Amino acid sequence: MKIDLEIMDLLQELEEIIEHAPVKGLARKSISIEKEEVLSIINEIKSLLPEEVNQAIWINRERQRIITEAKVEADQIIAQANQEAELKVREGEQFEENLKQQFDDIVESNEVVVRAKERATEIISKAEAYAVEIREGSLVYAEDVISSVEQNLIETLEIVKTNKRELREG
């Protein structure tokens, strides 16, 4: 309670300095105050603040650092997932090209052309389905990672809110 009164006294002193400061300028909206005197009072107020305030400031900075790191990590994961998806698409396209070449070879050899066309069509469909599945899987994976990061951020924010509420309730 003594600390609160000392802080209030110092704030009152700051208020008086500002109220009694000489007015300058034609608009009379500017004042002239002693910088060192005001900074000295502010430093006294800071020294009287409870450790919980410093902890809250640290928690807030730490939260921001965690959020920044999580965003960077999420961006890296998304970029990696996109690269993997592109690689799988290219592999699927190459697989499809190989299948088409095999089909052309079979047609050229003129043996069992009908069965070869059916088989090639089936393989191409599977390859296209596989490529779609890979793309969708990559997106689901990226979404899961982002959701996990989001949940971690929400939990961290809840901790900060709880600490803030506790500071207010004192």
Fold of domain 50-169: Helix Hairpins (1.10.287)
pLDDT for 162: 92
pLDDT for 91: 86
3-state SS, the chain, equals: CHHHHHHHHHHHHHHHHHHCCCEECCCCCEECCCHHHHHHHHHHHHHHCCHHHHHHHHHHHHHHHHHHHHHHHHHHHHHHHHHHHHHHHHHHHHHHHHHHHHHHHHHHHCCCHHHHHHHHHHHHHHHHHHHHHHHHHHHHHHHHHHHHHHHHHHHHHHHHHHHHHHHHHC
> Would you list the domain boundaries of the chain?
1-49, 50-169
pLDDT for 21: 82
pLDDT for 19: 84
pLDDT for 109: 67
pLDDT for 84: 85
Per-residue pLDDT of the chain (170 residues; tens, 9 = 90+): 566 688 788 889 888 888 888 887 776 678 788 889 889 988 888 887 777 777 888 888 888 999 888 888 888 888 888 888 888 888 888 988 888 888 777 666 666 667 778 888 899 988 888 888 888 888 887 788 788 888 988 998 899 899 989 888 87
pLDDT for 112: 66
